[in-house]
Amino acid sequence: MLILQLRTLEMKKTLFFILFITLLGQKVVLAGEKDFTLAPAIILPIDSIKVYDSSVYWKFVGRTRLNIHTIILSDWADGGESSISGASYFDMLLKYEKGNFKFENYFNTTYGMQLFQYSKSRKSEDKLKLMSSVAHQFKKNWFYNAQLEFKSQYSKGYKYPNDSVPVSGWLAPGYLTLSLGVENKSINGLSIFYSPLAGKLLFVLDQDLADAGKYGVKKAVKDADGNILVHGENVKAELGMNLRLRYRKEIVKNIDVSSYLVLANNYADYDPSNHWNIDVDWETLFDFTINRYFVANLYLHMIYDDDTKVPEYEIIGGERTKTGETAKLQIKQNYGFGLAFKF
């Protein structure tokens, strides 16, 4: 009888939680139109637009999203563990436009955690990106453009289930890129930016990662006994071309696609044979508008960086064993559902 009462109480708590989330959604106030000027968010975007007087040169738009996902298990025969995960997303655009001159500033950040009933918590999302661009229109649909971009993450990341050795952290890595070039917007929804001269600074401020030569910096020099004679470098300078394609459009009603592709190389690579290796960073987001309160999306992120090595594994003796590291295509995909807000 006591067990039945406890299960009934647990069911009531679950129903109360679902009801709370539903009622919370009724308080969200959103605009109904789309804003394709904001950079694509990682997941859960809902686009909005503000209408400004033509005499106002400064424009400001912000968006934030919240996604919560729960798994509740009770005496589940197949095993598993109850968990709750949440992620918040924030985008901001500050823009000045007058005549042929345009000055844009983007701020995009994401952070998420996954909490388990018995196991340790894990970081699920972590991103910080700032970008400023100055552009001058010299011909119809053509712009001279200078872009400054900074990317990193807030906290340490681990190669789970191993949570004792970090593989990333604040400014480990971090990227600061200055690109000078031209931009074309002849096709509706498509922006093509080409820079024949783009300088990038790569930061790896975690000395253990720098000593291991992670993310392409020079690794430490060691003696025969493994003692460090010269520490690994914390900063690496790169110089190369940069091609960026951004496409944002409503392909059918209530389904938008955002795709951002970056191709880059490094003429100044330590190894001359790598001068024409092309790094790829491609994000694609399908945004499904369910109603004026709820949104869902499908997100795909692909990265290829010759300087970033990922582990290789083989099944040896029935166990998954690390056998080496190599550069390969990294793929991340997820499906999200949640609430969105604007201001």
Tell me the mean pLDDT in the region 169-179: 92
Query: Which of 164-178, 198-212, 277-291 is predicted least confidently?
Result: 277-291
Query: Which of 214-223, 242-251, 268-277 is predicted least confidently?
Result: 268-277
Tens digit of each residue's pLDDT (9 = 90 or more) over 136-156: 999 999 999 999 999 999 999
Tell me the mean pLDDT in the region 13-21: 40
With a CB cutoff of 8 Å and minimum separation 6, the contacts of 41 are 63, 65, 89, 91, 108, 110, 285
Chain-centre distance of CA 199, in angstroms? 21
- Residue 295: both structure tokens together: 């949104």
Which of the two residues, 57 and 270, has the higher pLDDT score? Answer: 57
Question: What does the pLDDT read at residue 251?
Answer: 84
Consecutive H or E run containing 275: none
First to last CA, the chain: 51
Query: How many other CB atoms are found less than 10 A from the CB of residue 77?
Result: 6
Q: What is the mean pLDDT of the chain?
A: 78
Q: Binning pLDDT at 50, 70 and 90, where does residue 14 land? A: very low
- Residue 157: both structure tokens together: 């990341």
Q: Which is nearest to 331 in space by CA: 300, 310, 287?
A: 300
Question: What does the pLDDT read at residue 90?
Answer: 84
Pick left, alpha or beta for residue 15 (phi over 0 → left; psi -120 to 50 → alpha; otherwise beta). alpha
HSE (CB half, 13 Å, CA atoms) of 97? 12
Which of the two residues, 111 and 62, has the higher pLDDT score? Answer: 111
- Residue 88: both structure tokens together: 């918040």
Note down the domain range covering 312: 2-342
How far is it, in rounded angstroms, from Cα 102 to Cα 57?
10
Question: What does the pLDDT read at residue 53?
Answer: 46
* Residue in this structure with the two tokens 């996902």, named with its chain if needed: 69
Q: Binning pLDDT at 50, 70 and 90, where does residue 29 land? A: very low
Q: Binning pLDDT at 50, 70 and 90, where does residue 167 land? A: confident
Pick left, alpha or beta for residue 304 (phi over 0 → left; psi -120 to 50 → alpha; otherwise beta). beta
Tell me the mean pLDDT in the region 95-121: 87
Tell me the mean pLDDT in the region 168-196: 92
Whole-structure pTM value: 0.74
Query: How many domains are there within the chain?
Result: 1
Q: Which is nearest to 339 in space by CA: 111, 17, 44?
A: 44
Residue type for position 24: L
Task: Quote the Cα angle for 130-135-141, to 5°.
Answer: 120
pLDDT at 320 over 80: no
Consecutive H or E run containing 269: none
SS3 128: strand
Question: What does the pLDDT read at residue 23?
Answer: 38
SS3 151: strand
Query: Which of 26-40, 58-72, 156-170 is predicted least confidently?
Result: 26-40
Tell me the mean pLDDT in the region 172-196: 93
Q: Where does 117-216 show beta strands of DSSP type E?
A: 122-139, 142-152, 157-158, 166-168, 174-184, 190-203
Q: Binning pLDDT at 50, 70 and 90, where does residue 105 land? A: very high
How far is it, in rounded angstroms, from Cα 199 to Cα 180?
9
Tell me the mean pLDDT in the region 77-87: 76
Tell me the mean pLDDT in the region 62-80: 73
Question: What does the pLDDT read at residue 328?
Answer: 84
